Amino acid sequence: MDSVVVIGAGQAAASLVARLRSGGLEGKITLIGEEPAPPYQRPPLSKAYLLGEMELERLYLRPASYYPENGIDLHLSETVTAIDRKKRQVITAGQKIPYDHCVLCTGSVPRRLPAAIGGELDGVYVVRTLQDVDDMAPQCRAKRRVLIVGGGYIGLEAAAVCAKRGLKVTLVEAADRILQRVAAPETSAWFRALHKRHGVTVREGVGLKQLVGEAHVCAAELTDGTELEVDFVVVGVGIAPATELAQGCGLEIDNGIKVNELGQTSDPAIWAAGDCASFPQGDRRLRLESVGNAIDMGELVADNILGQARPYVAKPWFWSDQYDVKLQIAGLNTGYDRIVVRKDGEALSHWYYAGDRLLAVDAINDSRAYMVGKRLIEAGKSPDPAAVTDTATDLKALLKA
């Protein structure tokens, strides 16, 4: 019976081990995580959990009892130091664990501010783990002053939570506009206005020059010469794939751990799934940072360990919750050359086209547009933009066209 060792205990890993067991694997499954908590949801950390609206146990993807009940050997607070590919062993500080299949679900790590500009001062936080949010939570009190560095989804979600808790929030984005890397100017403008309505000061085209403080941050100098007094800082400047372990054992790296269409690395006994993995898609390689990708890749790798030889076809989808707004995104907008806007009352959606081809949809409080857009993209259908903008058009009718 094959033994499987899974390194990393996030969404991809949790989906993978559950699929292995439900798919009939009878061999030993070992799941190793660096954190003390069993696999949990990350998206609610910076929203419902930080707001105190979600209990810790509700974060867990499965009850802690699930793992022993299903014969999954869960190792928490344990760090893998190396993989011995010749002996097929995963090495930790305390033991060597043999494997027939090893799966890297190491996820990603947040980019931090350099120490040279004050990134190591107390009161400077990233938002990635349960511990990160538990450390930051006591700071989120009404009337305190917070600087958010980065105008991507993590930064905007943190700004929304802090504003809801009554803090004085300033957000700086070094690029020309918030969400510049991931969204159209129309989506950026809508969310800029949303945050301003909630009292957030949004500074675009302005970066952080220096954080100031003896031990704890107390001020920030911006690149335009502005000086701000701050009580704490939240850094949301992106994440990087966690590839150190893969590099250490000589696996190929290409914007993440390079895998083939089945999820195998350059060593066929080692697989990778989730944020850490880059995979072939058509004539390019992709690496997706999303819950949906983590679930889908985790389940795919499990199926292929079980012998299905199923190629991965990504179906990208994402979401972001800010205030009472849900942004749902289907597809990838890379290469778009025009935006088609559909507004029906409070429901708003931005449709990304490259020529006549529909690439992606940003749906703002518009779940119907999201669901229809997602199905269209997955089916390779591109509706007439004029029909999309016409609110007299029943969106579901586009699926039949």
CATH of the domain at 202: 3.50.50.60
pTM of the model: 0.94
Answer whether 136's CB lies under 8 Å from 50's CB.
yes
Reported as a single tens digit per residue, the pLDDT across 200-249 is 999 999 999 999 999 999 999 999 999 999 999 999 999 999 999 999 99
pLDDT at 197: 98
Answer whether 152's CB lies under 8 Å from 181's CB.
yes
Indicate the pLDDT class of residue 401, thresholds 50, 70 and 90.
confident
Reported as a single tens digit per residue, the pLDDT across 87-131 is 999 999 989 999 999 999 999 999 999 999 999 999 999 999 999
Domain assignment of residue 357, given as a range:
324-400
pLDDT at 46: 85
Reported as a single tens digit per residue, the pLDDT across 12-69 is 999 999 999 999 999 999 999 999 999 999 999 988 999 889 999 999 999 999 999 9
The letter for the amino acid at 30 is T
Answer whether 31's CB lies under 8 Å from 67's CB.
yes
103 and 249 part of one domain: yes
DSSP state of 66: H
pLDDT at 164: 95
What's the half-sphere exposure (Cβ side, CA atoms, 13 Å) at 246?
Answer: 33
pLDDT (mean) for 63-92: 97
Work out how many domains the chain is built from and give that number: 3
H and E: helices and strands count for the chain? 11, 26
Q: Which of 206, 235, 264 is the last residue of a domain?
A: 235
pLDDT at 400: 85
Residues near 284 by Cβ (< 8 Å), separated by ≥ 6? none
229 and 284 part of one domain: no
* Residue from 39, 6, 222, 30 nearest 105 by CA: 6
228 and 197 part of one domain: yes
* Residue 95 is assigned to a structural domain of this protein: yes
CATH of the domain at 352: 3.30.390.30
Residue given tokens 């966690």 in the structure block: 242
Reported as a single tens digit per residue, the pLDDT across 271-302 is 999 999 999 998 899 999 999 999 999 999 99
Report H helices in 98-199: 130-136, 153-164, 185-197
* Residue 316 is assigned to a structural domain of this protein: no
> Which residues in 138-154 are b (16+ Cβ under 10 Å) and which e?
ebbeeebbbbbbbbbbb
Residues near 104 by Cβ (< 8 Å), separated by ≥ 6? 7, 8, 245, 246, 257, 265, 270, 271, 272, 273, 276, 277
pLDDT (mean) for 256-264: 98
Residue 254 to residue 270: CA distance in whole angstroms? 16
Residue 168 to residue 54: CA distance in whole angstroms? 24
Centre a 10 Å sphere on the Cβ of residue 166 and count the other Cβ atoms it contains.
13
* Residue 368 is assigned to a structural domain of this protein: yes
* Residue 203 is assigned to a structural domain of this protein: yes
pLDDT at 190: 98
229 and 117 part of one domain: yes
Q: Which of 180, 215, 235 is the last residue of a domain?
A: 235
* Residue 315 is assigned to a structural domain of this protein: no
Reported as a single tens digit per residue, the pLDDT across 353-380 is 999 999 999 999 999 999 999 999 999 9
